[in-house]
Each structure stands twice: as C-alpha cells, then as structure tokens.
A and B are shown apart, each in its own frame.
Chain A
Amino acid sequence: DAKTTQPTSMDCAEGRAANLPCNHSTISGNEYVYWYRQIHSQGPQYIIHGLKNNETNEMASLIITEDRKSSTLILPHATLRDTAVYYCIVDAWAGSYQLTFGKGTKLSVIP
C-alpha cells in the first residue's frame, strides 16, 4: 500500500500557483519525499525531492513540515501544460528500490 495520501483531484487557474498537498504521517527518518507527474499517455516525469528542508528547482518548490508528516508541492505559475496526475511518493529506500505509487492527484489547470 502507498504510504501517502493525496486528494483525488484539484483545479487551478492558469497563471496562479498550484499547491498540491500530501500526507505521509508514517514516514521514517531516512525516507525522502519524491514528487513525479504524469501527463496523459506519457511516462512519469521527476519533479523534485526532499528530506527535511524545503527545496526549489526550475520546475517547483517542495515544502516539508517540520514533523515531516506532510508536504506541499508548489507550481508557482501554473500553465495548461501542467495539467497532469501528480504523485507524492515516500522513497522505500531501506532494503528495496521500488517506488510505490498511489493514485495521485489529478491537477486540471483551467484557462
């Protein structure tokens, strides 16, 4: 079973910030939080990951709460091309290298 909980779907107006939440209350101290997205009929695309500090790259920002039980992916200026399913994954690092995907959040960016 996935170790994360995400809303099934969200809408965001084009040009606005999209804030995608994820709960991972059972995360272990050495587990990372990864975010991927999947645009229809394509392979998942890596976005960002973090351990406990907030992270930013050219695609997004990742905010992790101090207790590490939840995180938020922020797309600062959403475009129509950001419409996708977004997956929050806790890295099953210890003894296994598989990524366990849940059903993710379907983000629809609306003109």
Chain B
Amino acid sequence: DTGVSQDPRHKITKRGQNVTFRCDPISEHNRLYWYRQTLGQGPEFLTYFQNEAQLEKSRLLSDRFSAERPKGSFSTLEIQRTEQGDSAMYLCASSSRDSSTDTQYFGPGTRLTVL
C-alpha cells in the first residue's frame, strides 16, 4: 500500500534562493492538496488540484509561490526568492473524488529551513 510521498524530506537554503518540492499522491487519487505548517500551529491550506486543474488557492499563497500538477499525477511546489518566514513544514495530501467523504491522506512533509 503506497501512501503519499514527498521529496525532499528536508531542505536548507539561503534567503533569496529558489526551492522546489515534489509530491507523489496515492496513485488512484485525483485530488491533491498542499498545506503549510509552522511550529506550534496546525497545518494551513495553500492550494488544491483536481486532476491537473488548480481549483483553489489560499491568500497565503503569495506571488512567490507556484504549484503545478502537469499530468494530473505528481505535483510540484516552487518558492521563489525564499524568505526566512517561509521556513515551515510543507505538507501534501491526496484524496479520491470517488469517495463520498473525500478523506485526505497526508505525506510525511518537507521541512524547509531558510537561513
């Protein structure tokens, strides 16, 4: 049973650099979500895809953030010109439209540290 996977698990970068994270959802899931979690807080929604279409974006997703899901399978989240405030855990989740309740299953996360 393959769950949601994320790569890398940890990323340390210098302020101003660009970073890209990858998420591979559960294979039959057509919905994919990105969340961000800072220390001591619960995860916060960033964006949502249904297949390859990005259908919802949070106001937290500034212009420096871009997410793609080109073939409706894996997704990437890119942060340009990173800032120290971007340091957080970035979580990916997936779910199946066929499920009556659309339960989201999360990956292990990518922890970003911006120096």
Contact = CB atoms under 8 A, between A and B. Distances in A.
Interface of A: 2, 32, 34, 36, 41-46, 49, 87, 91, 93, 96-104
A100 B108 contact: no
B33 A93 contact: no
The 6 nearest A-B residue pairs measured at CB? A101-B42, A98-B45, A43-B106, A44-B106, A43-B109, A43-B108
Contacts of B95: 97
A6 to B, nearest CB: 10
Interface of B: 4, 31, 33, 35, 40-45, 48, 55-56, 58, 91, 93, 95, 101-109, 111
Nearest to A85: B42
B42 A98 contact: no
12 contacts: A34-B103, A36-B106, A43-B4, A44-B43, A46-B104, A46-B105, A87-B42, A91-B101, A96-B56, A97-B33, A101-B43, A101-B44
B36 to A, nearest CB: 11
A58 to B, nearest CB: 14
Contacts of B105: 46
Nearest to B45: A98
A109 B35 CA distance: 28
Given A97-B31, A97-B102, A42 B109 contact: yes
Nearest to B95: A97
Contacts of B93: 43-44, 99
